[in-house]
Amino acid sequence: MKGETNCWNWQGWKYISWVITVILLIAEGLAFFKVWELKMLPMKYFLPLLAVTLIINIGIIIMMFPRAERAEKSAGKWGRVIAYILSLLLIVGSLFGGSVVAKLDETFDVITRKPAVSAHVGVYVLANDSANAIEDTAMYTFAMTDSYDADNGQSALLDIQNHLGSEISVQKFDTVFAMVDALYAGDIQAMILNVAYTDVFDDVEHYHDFSERTKLIYQYEVTAKVTESTEMPTAPTEPAKVEKRPPFIVYLSGSDTRSKVLATSRSDVNILAVVHPENKQILLVNTPRDYFIPNPAGGGALDKLTHCGIYGIDCSVEALSDLYGYPIDYNAQINFTGFETLIDAVGGVNIISDVDDGVYLRQGDNHMDGKLALKFARDRFKYFDGDHARGRHQMQVIKAVVEKMSTGAIVLNYSDILDSLQGMFITDMPSDLIAGLIKDQLSTMTKWTVLTYAVAGAGGSEIPYSMPGLYAYVMYPNEGMVAYASELIGRVLDGDILTQEDISAG
C-alpha cells in the first residue's frame, strides 16, 4: 500500500513538472523569437544568453524529473521545489522580456509609420460674435482666398455647405490679410483659413492679437492620402550585412504643437543632424527660423524659413537642401513639449551655460530636469541675440540627450523613454536603420561625439512670399557662414573627424 501511495505521489509530481516545463519552454521560445525578429540585440549578447538559458533549462529538467529511486527522497523533493522556483522566475522573466520587445516594436511602428499629413482648416468669427458653432452661421457671408491653400479651402467650403445643408454666401479676397481686415470691419461675418497660417500673424504688429480678437468655431481636417506600396509583401529577411553603415542627414523640425497627428505648421526648430555611424559623430547645424531664403512652394520666391513648414515638411526639406547643397535623407518631427518627458526619463541632462539669468540658470554646469530643459530650449527674450541663443540652446539640449542615452540610460529607463518617443517623435527613417543603430550602440557602448554649428545673419525688413503686401522682420543669410556649414557637412559625410577647433574656425 505504501508503494502504491508513493507511486501515485510521484506520478502527480510528474504531471505538474510536465506542465511547468511546457509553459517554460513556450514562454522562453516566444521571448527569444521576438528578440531575434527585432534584430536589435547583438549576437555577442544573444548567443551567450541563449546558451546560458539552455544550460539552466537542462538543470531544471533534471531536478524536476529525478530518477524514480530519488523522486520521493528529501533531496528529490527539494530539487523539484528549487526547479519550480527557478522555472517561475524564468517564466516571469521571459514574459517581461517579451513585453519589452513588444513595446519596442510598437514604438517603432508608431514613430516610423508613414503618417497621413493633415491640414486643419478653420472657420473664424469675431470674439464677440454670437455664433459659437457652424450651425449659427447659415446666413453669414464667408471670406476665402485663392492665394493660399486654395484646394484645402475649397474642400472645407464643401464640407461646411454639406454640414449646413445649403450653399453659403462667399466673398473672395486677394490675400489672407485682406480677409482679416474685412472681418474686423464687419464687411464679412466669418472667414475660412488654414489654422496653421494664423501663426504668421504673430510676426505682424497689426495682426498679432488675432487670436484674442477672433474665435475658432469650426474645424475641418483635410488628410492627405498615404501612398501605399503596390508590391506584394514578402517575408521579413535578415538585413544585408555591410562593412560600414553609411552617413546620412536628418532634418529635425520642431514646434510647440502637442498633437501626435502631423499637421502642417510653422517650424520653429530647424536643425540638420549629420550622422556618421562609423565615426560615432553627429554634427548639428542650426538655421534661424527667420532666414530669408527661396520658398519652393512659391517657385523660389523669398520667404522666412519657418513659413516653409506651412506648406508641409517636404517644402522645408527642399529649402534647406537647396541652401546647403546636400540632399537630406530623412526628416523627423519633434514635439518639444513631449521632449520634456524624454529628458525626465533619462534622469535629466547636464547643460553648460555661459550666462547666469538669476532665476533658474547659472553660469557653468547645470543639471536640468525636463521642465527646466524645455524652458532653456524655448526661451529667447532674455538673451541679446534672441533666436540665435534659442537655436544654440536647442542644440545643447539635443546634444545632452544623445550623450546621456549613449551611456546606457536607454537600457535603464527603456519604458519611460519609449512612452515619450511615442508622444514627441515621428520620422521617415526606416525601422531597420534605427534598429541597426541601436544594435551597434548596444554592441560597442561607444560614446558619441556631438558638435554644433549655427549660421547667423543680419536683420532686415522685407515682404515675405507668405505675407503678401506686408513687411516683416527677416534675417539675411550670412553667405560665408552658410558656405562654411556646407563645408562641415561635407567633411562629416566624407568621414573626417571634426574637432571643436574646426567648428570655431567658422
Q: What pLDDT does 87 receive?
A: 92
More confidently predicted of 279 and 1 = 279
9-23, 143-157, 224-238, 374-388: which is most confident: 143-157
In whole angstroms, give the CA distance from residue 420 to residue 399: 17
Tell me the whole-structure pTM to 2 decimals.
Answer: 0.73
- Of 202 and 398, which is predicted with more confidence? 398
Find, among 145, 147, 127, the residue nearest to 189 by Cα. Answer: 127
Q: What is the DSSP letter of 332?
A: E
373-409 per-position pLDDT tens digit: 888 887 766 666 667 777 788 888 888 887 777 766 5
Which pLDDT value is given to residue 227?
45
pLDDT score of 44: 83
Task: Please report which confidence band the pLDDT of residue 239 belongs to, taking 50, 70 and 90 as the band edges.
Answer: very low
Q: How far is residue 274's CA from residue 271's CA, in Å, rounded to a whole number?
A: 10
Question: What are the beta bridge partners of residue 281?
Answer: 276, 449
**38 or 4, which is more confident:** 38
Contact 320, 304 (CB under 8 A): no
Q: What is the mean pLDDT of residues 368-374?
A: 87
Nearest Cα residue to 223 out of 321, 117, 135: 117
In DSSP notation, 451-492 reads: EEEE--EEEEEE--TTSTT--EEEEEE-HHHHHHHHHHHHHH
